[in-house]
Amino acid sequence: MPPSVFVPLAAFIAALTALSVGAQSASPDSQTGASRIALASVTDPRNRPLVDVSADDFVIQEAGVAREVLSVRPADYPIVVLIDTGHDADADFPLLQKAAAHFIDRIGQRPIALGTFGGAPRMLTTFEDERQTVMARLGAIAVDTSAGSLLLKGTSVAAETIRATGALFSSIVILSATQADASQESPDEMMAPVVDSNATLHVIANRPGQTAAGGQRSNPALRALAERSRGEFTVIYSAASYQAALDRLADRLSGEMMIEYLVPVGSKPNDVKVGVRIIGALVRGLGVAPR
């Protein structure tokens, strides 16, 4: 049998697990079902996603005790895509719009909801809408040249949308034309729904006219949320780079797997580790949730 490669799900994942369980059951400390689901990605030594991985390839341990893996499938959790329609997006909005459409095409058949955050943030579609409806709404979006970009408030609105679904895993993808946030509410109040949603936050923020060596620091609140959720905060310096950044994100998402495994009733997800019996493969643990 080939050797197993184990990767611990780090301290933040333990926190994410507790939050997820608390949202799904009366007791935040114990598992009330018969299985849990781990979210992980598997890549080859060149960091390319490996998707031809079966249940027999995975190994799960909790507190050093092996768990039986039931099934493995590509991750298909819901994603909210937030588009900047503030005045800073005006000059290059067609490039942003085109990149977003290409990204949505690439991430496969999964629930997608579309929202904007130029001026008062709003959701344009729901997770129940057909993909053609989402694409039509995306194509019809226009910039509000009198509005600022309410990044953190928009993220909060997206998180509330996700939380209402009760999804075990989810993501928010933000395409911003600026790092300046025009949100007026208390940052703590806006950040709380994002943390409670357990969503992974990915931000792609443009700094037009600046270089990597200069300019002000990117939005610290959003950066902290992205890092805490094991997402990515990507800074670009030209609108032409939206598509390249989104292609990299789509590659990451395409390599994520949902692994269901058996657990004793009443057990806790302590010290969860995931591994694969594939020599040279790298595993990244992204979260654990009750079934």
CATH number at residue 219: 3.40.50.410
Residue 213, pLDDT score: 46
Given this model, what pLDDT does residue 210 score?
Answer: 53
| Domain match, 96 and 185 both | yes
pLDDT (mean) for 86-112? 95
**Which residues, 6 or more positions from 58, have their beta carbon under 8 angstroms from its beta carbon?**
69, 72, 259, 274, 275, 276, 277
pLDDT band at 215; cut points 50, 70, 90: very low
Specify whether 83 is located in the same domain as 198.
yes
Q: Report how many domains make up the chain.
A: 2
Beta bridge partners of 202: 173, 232
Amino acid, single-letter form, for residue 283: V
Please give the Cα distance from 38 to 19 (Å, whole number).
14
Examine the domain organization and report whether 156 and 24 are in the same domain: no
Per-residue pLDDT band for 156 (boundaries 50, 70, 90) equals very high
The mean-pLDDT minimum among 109-113, 137-141, 281-285 falls in 281-285
- Asked whether the predicted pLDDT for residue 216 surpasses 90, the reply is no
Are 85 and 192 within one domain? yes
CB 239, CB 208: distance < 8 Å = yes
pLDDT at position 77? 96
Residues 126 and 61 in one domain: no
Over 70: is that where the pLDDT of 260 sits?
yes
Check whether residue 192 and residue 222 sit in a common domain: yes
Same domain, 106 and 243: yes
Instruction: Give the pair of three-digit tokens for residue 63.
Output: 């507190």
Shared domain for 135 and 206, answered yes or no, is yes
246 and 173 in a single domain? The answer is: yes
pLDDT the model gives residue 219: 79
Token pair, residue 61, equals 């341990």
Which pLDDT band holds residue 164 (cuts at 50, 70, 90)? very high
Rounded average pLDDT over 181-207: 94
- Mean pLDDT in residue range 189-204: 95
> Residue 245: its pLDDT value, please?
98
pTM above 0.75, yes or no: yes
Residue 10 in 3-state DSSP? coil
**Of 29, 4, 203, nearest in space to 117 by CA:** 203
118, 148 contact by CB (below 8 A): yes
Q: What is the mean pLDDT of the chain?
A: 86
Section 122-142 average pLDDT: 97
The pLDDT value recorded for residue 209 is: 54
pLDDT above 50: residue 237: yes
Residue 241 sits in the same domain as residue 267: no
In the chain, % of residues over pLDDT 90: 70
Same domain for 71 and 206, yes or no, is no
Same domain, residue pair 221 and 133: yes
Identify the band that residue 128 occupies on the pLDDT scale cut at 50, 70 and 90: very high
Cα end-to-end span (Å), the chain: 29
Domain that holds residue 20: 5-75+256-290
